[in-house]
Amino acid sequence: MGRTGVRNGTRELRAAPVVTDALTLFDVGPDDDVVPAETPVENRLLQVRTVYAEPAAAASPRGRQVLARFPAAEVVEVASHWQLPELHGNAGNVDRWVRVKSETLVLGVKKSLSTRPNGRSADFIAPSTSNGCAMACAYCYVPRRKGYANPITVFTNIEQITAHLRRHVARQGPKTEPNQCDRDSWVYDLGENSDCSVDAVVSDNVADLVATFRDLPTAKASFATKFVNRQLLDLDPQGRTRVRFSLMPDADAHLLDVRTSRIAERIAAIDDFVAAGYEVHLNFSPVVLREGWEADWTALLRQLDDELSPAAKAQAATEVIMLTHNEGLHEVNLGWHPQAEQLLWRPEVQQPKVSQNGQLNVRYRNDVKRAGVQRLQALIAQHTPWLPVRYAF
């Protein structure tokens, strides 16, 4: 990995770019596209001090937008966004886990673009426009794939990604058979490896995706989120983007959903997102079985019934996903958040499971899981009869 540290606090990217510091390093000249004015990000989640950047990513318009949003960050040139041993695959970073997420970004170019079939929450998984997350949910599978301290990597070749998606949607033609994903649109999940609401703070990739799907009448974008970013209310999705607010009882979220928006804030945002033109679904995930879970889920469902508007209820649906955990993540979590493991790691009711991507995980035993799913579905039918369950597993 080639590395050069450059302090770029004096950069000026607002009009014609002045070639200084990091821009010189990344060979950005006055003929390159002008980056529009950017307001520096002020967000509790992102106090960015270092941006690791592939040269081509930093020199691209999207890369320069990100750098302009974090003007005080040091930029460090790297050969590949995947080869950052001090960030990735380093469980020893556990004592700095949250700090690395707050203080670090990575810029890269996504080399291979592919859309994969899914068939559960979405028909397809779109190529990521980022991966990693500034939040730190204790059960999150994203760090298992990438290594443990997994700050946000932004992929800057957004035009290639949106062009790929347009071609993929065109090849499908109209959706003629309704399925659990949607009645009449092909659904593309955007946020498999990140949280799009936070990604939208870092760059306009999510805005570009929302704009892309606005013009695709046979398709719909979809992402689950645990963060309320009200900037998304200005994107005019015209019903072509589905936001799935992830919910669980606040007592669980308080312990497990580290750095996220509180449950009450997520619920309070639902009506506003519906009014702004989003389809808003719910994502009951992960469902954690523990003493008292039924009473707490009942309270959550009653809160939804009390607080959501008729318009929100009329278009709502949910998915139910029982907790899956992982032994490696369990070991790491013991080093930074052992209380979470009292909820997540319960070998007496769990069994091994090989995931779709070959990871050895644990999930609730078949009988325990079946009973939990049935009980939660019964509670939903009783307390929120307006809320169809798209799928549960």
Q: Applying CB under 6 A, which residues contact ligand SF4?
A: 133, 135-137, 140, 142, 194-195, 226, 260
Nearer to ligand SF4, 219 or 269 (CB): 269
User: What is the phi/psi pair of residue 100, to 5°?
Assistant: -60, -40
Tell whether the torsion through CA atoms of 108, 124, 137 and 140 is positive or negative. Answer: negative
CB of residue 9 to ligand SF4, shortest distance in Å: 29
Rounded Cα distance between 254 and 114, Å, is: 36
CB of residue 183 to ligand SF4, shortest distance in Å: 27
Spell out where the chain has E strands.
Answer: 5-7, 50-53, 74-77, 104-108, 116-117, 124-125, 130-131, 152-155, 186-189, 219-225, 241-247, 279-287, 318-322, 324-326, 350-354, 360-364, 389-392
CB of residue 273 to ligand SF4, shortest distance in Å: 17
Rounded Cα distance between 259 and 113, Å, is: 30
CB of residue 45 to ligand SF4, shortest distance in Å: 10
CB of residue 363 to ligand SF4, shortest distance in Å: 16
**What H or E segment, with its residue span, contains residue 341?**
helix 338-344
CA 115 to centroid of chain Cα atoms:
17
CB of residue 226 to ligand SF4, shortest distance in Å: 4
Determine contact, residues 322/373, Cβ cutoff 8 Å.
yes
